[in-house]
Structure 1
Amino acid sequence: MDVMKATARQLLVKLGAGNLSLEAVASEAGLTEAEVEAVFPTRDELLTALLIDAYNASGEAMEEADRAAREAGAGAGARLLAVTRALRAWSFENPGEFTLVYGSPVPGYHAPMDTVPPASRTPAVLAGIVRSALEAGELTPPKRPLTGQSLLLPEAVQLFGGVPEAPYADLIERGIVLWSSLVGLLVFQVFSRTHDSVRDESAYFDFAIAVAAEGVGLEVPFNENEL
C-alpha cells in the first residue's frame, strides 16, 4: 500500500489528480493493475486515501508547530504565525497533495465523510489559537459588528467551542475569513501568483497573515524581534 500511495503522490505532480488512474499507478510502480485493485478497487478510493493522508500530514505539521510555540512561551499571535508558516512549508514541499486538497475539484469525485475529521485538523488548530487568545484577553474588540445574526452551521460553532459573547459574537465568522485568507494566500504562492508582484514571498506571507489576523483582533508579530 505504501508503495502504491507514494507512486500516486508522484503522479499527482506529473499528471494531476484528474488524470490519476490505477493503471498509471501500476505501470509507474512496476505492479500489475490487479495488484493495485486488490488494495484500491477504484480510483476514487485511492484519491480518498491520498486526501486523508494529505489532510493528516498538513494538520500534524501545524499541530507540531503550535506545540513547539506554546512550549517556547509564545503568545497567540506568534503561535498563529508559526502554524501558518508550517502549513506553507508543507504546501511547498508537497505541491501535488496541496493541489489535491486545495486545487480544482476532480471531475466525478465526491469526497466521503471519512475525509471530514482529517480535513477539520487545520481549522481546529486556527480555532484553538483564536479561542485561547480570546480567553487570555489578547484580542482587540472589533470596531463594529458586521452581522446581526449567526451565519454559521452548528459544526463550526461546535469546533470553536460555542459562540462568544459580545463584543466578540461574530468571532467565528471572522475566524473563517482568516482561514479562507490563509488558503487563498497559499494558492497564490504555491501556484506562483505573487512572484511577479512582491520581492520576498516569505516576508509577504508573514505580512498577509498579520493583516488577516487583524480581522479577528489578533496582533501577529511581523519581525523576528517581536517573536
Structure 2
Amino acid sequence: MPSNKERAQKALEEISTEEAEKYLKELRESWEEVTKSLNRSTIAYCLIVALFELLIGSKQELRFTVAGFQFANSATLQKALPALAGYFYCSSMTYACKWLACEEVFDAFYKKLRPQLYGQDLEVELKPSAGPWNIGLHFPGDSGAQRFGFAIQLALGSMFLFIIPLAFAAHSAFLLIDKFGGGDVFTIFTISLSGALVIAGMAYGLWDRETRG
C-alpha cells in the first residue's frame, strides 16, 4: 500500500496549483477537527482512569453527575470503567494515526506549494498540537535543542501510547479480581474487553504506521 506521502506526491502531479491550494486549506481545517477529537478522547480516557481509581478504593457511597446524568458508586460501574477506558484509548489511537496522516500529507503539499518556507522549517509553526500524545514533528532544524526536544517528545509519547494503557489495564484487572473475585462473569468480561481494546488499539497503530506511515 502506498504511503500517505507517496499518495500526496502522486496527487500533486495530477492537479493544478489552485486545486492544491484549496485542498491544503481544507486539509488544515480537517486536521484541526481531528486534533480536537484526539484531545477529547484523551481527556475522556484520563478522566475515566482517575474516576476508576477514586471509586474502586472508596468505601463511601459517592454520587456524582456527568453531562446531566447522575451516577452512584456501584459495583457495576466500577467493573465497566476499565472497558470504557479501553474504548477511548482505542478511539484515541485511531485519531492519532489520522493526525499523523494529516501531517504527512500537509508536509508534502506545503513542500510543493511553499518551498522557501518549507526549507526554513516554518511549516512546523502551523501544525496543531497533539496534546499529551506528543506525536508528529514539532521541533525545527537539526540542532541539539531539536534532538533534546525529540527525546522528550518520544518519552512522553511512549507513556501515553503504550506504557499507561497497558499498566492501567493490568492494574485495573488486578483490583477488580481482588475485590470481586475471579469467578464473577461480568468482571472477567470487562477485564477481557479492556485488554482486547488496548491490544487492538496498539495493533492498529503499528499496522497503520507500517503500511501507510
Query: Fold match, TM over 0.5?
Result: no
Answer 1 or 2: higher relative contact order, Cα 8 Å, separation at least 6. 2
**Of the two, which has the highest radius of gyration?**
2
TM-score by length of 1: 0.32
